[in-house]
Amino acid sequence: MRRDEIVTGASQGGAAARRGGGRGTTGRRRASHSLEAVISEAVAILDESGEPGLTFRALAARLGTGVGSIYWYVSSKDELLERAADSVLAGVLAQTAHVGTDPDPIADVRAIAIAFYEATVNRPWLGAYFLQDSGTQINGLTLYDRMGRQVMRLDLTRRQQFDAVSAVMAFVVGVAADRGQDPPQEVRDGRVSADEFVADFRAQIRELGEQDFPFLFNIADEFAAHDDAEQFRAGLDLLLAGIRQQAAG
């Protein structure tokens, strides 16, 4: 996979320069696809069965086509995953299009970060692929820029602005990577309830002993009761408090 060129949504880019469109002016051929259809179906598979579930054969079957056809739109599985991740970012961008009006710039940063986070909920596969793309994929850059515009309104040096935006983005990705992997197979299947799982985990922490793991022991109840989204916002607010303090002098 190349990363030395910024890939915009519609134009250039190796074998994937082929645009969708599918239907021309008249009827269709054998089976008409499009880049958008390929990627949205890929996202659907990823959401249902995760990254291991996304195979070219499974995707082809779902599109009612052959494996070879997919390679007309996408040159490798890496590119497929990149485009899938980027298409999710497009949704985040749409949701944060209005941002930039709040008198407090940090409130806007917060809104963007939360929208970004929420897009990763129930999408474990995104965590690993996000920042991999954000460097070169257009939607990742746009999101980065959108957050940066708000930070520019603060009284910070350029370097401080750069560091602040990078920190917030890294934090969101880190939380996403964590949260995504959390519930094991048994819980996803429904074989074990979430409450049972949490209770088991708490019991196991307790068994480790207070002497050897005082913090874990101390925190066991909080773990059992905590809400992921709430914890994300709590951490985000700590980071934003640091930024605000820096901007204040």
Partner DNA sequence: CTAGCGTATAGAACAGCGTTCGATCACCGA
Partner DNA sequence: TCGGTGATCGAACGCTGTTCTATACGCTAG
Under DSSP, is residue 7 helix (H, G, I), strand (E, B) or coil? strand
Q: Which is nearer to a second copy, 73 or 125 (CB)?
A: 125
Under DSSP, is residue 148 helix (H, G, I), strand (E, B) or coil? helix
Contact partner, 201, from DNA, a second copy, none, Cβ < 5-8 Å per class: a second copy
114 binds a second copy (CB under 8 A): no
210 binds a second copy (CB under 8 A): no
219 binds a second copy (CB under 8 A): yes
Contact partner, 71, from DNA, a second copy, none, Cβ < 5-8 Å per class: DNA
Q: What is the dihedral of CA 37, 8, 109, 181, to 10 degrees?
A: 50
104 binds a second copy (CB under 8 A): no
Q: Which is nearer to DNA, 3 or 19 (CB)?
A: 19
Out of 9, 14, 50, 66, name the contact with DNA by CB under 7 A: 66
Residues 136 to 165 in contact with a second copy, rule: CB under 8 A: 141-142, 144-149, 151-152, 158-165
Instruction: List, as own/partner pairs, every contact residues 29-36 make where C-beta atoms lie below 8 angstroms and the sequence separation is at least 24, other chains included.
Output: 31/63, 31/64, 31/65, 31/69, 33/63, 33/65, 33/69, 33/73, 34/73, 35/73, 35/74, 35/83
Q: Which is nearer to a second copy, 68 or 207 (CB)?
A: 207
Q: For residues 30 and 41, what is the distance between their CA atoms, to the nearest angstrom?
A: 19
Out of 2, 12, 21, 122, name the contact with DNA by CB under 7 A: 21
Q: What are 7's strand-pairing partners?
A: 137
Residues 6+ apart with CB under 8 A from 46: 53, 54, 84, 123, 125
Q: For residues 83 and 42, what is the distance between their CA atoms, to the nearest angstrom?
A: 9
Q: Which is nearer to a second copy, 44 or 167 (CB)?
A: 167
Q: Which is nearer to DNA, 186 or 200 (CB)?
A: 186
Contact partner, 32, from a second copy, DNA, none, Cβ < 5-8 Å per class: DNA
Given the rule CB under 7 A, which of 72-80, 92-100, 160-168, 172-180 is the region that contacts DNA?
A: 72-80
What's the angle, vertex CA 78, arms to CA 166 and CA 19, rounded to 5? 100
Q: What is the dihedral of CA 106, 110, 113, 118, to 10 degrees?
A: -170
For residue 241, the 8-state DSSP code is H
Given the rule CB under 8 A, which of 38-46, 90-98, 106-114, 130-138 is the region that contacts a second copy?
A: 130-138
Contact residues: DNA, CB under 7 A: 18-19, 21-22, 24-33, 54-58, 60, 64-69, 71-73, 75-78
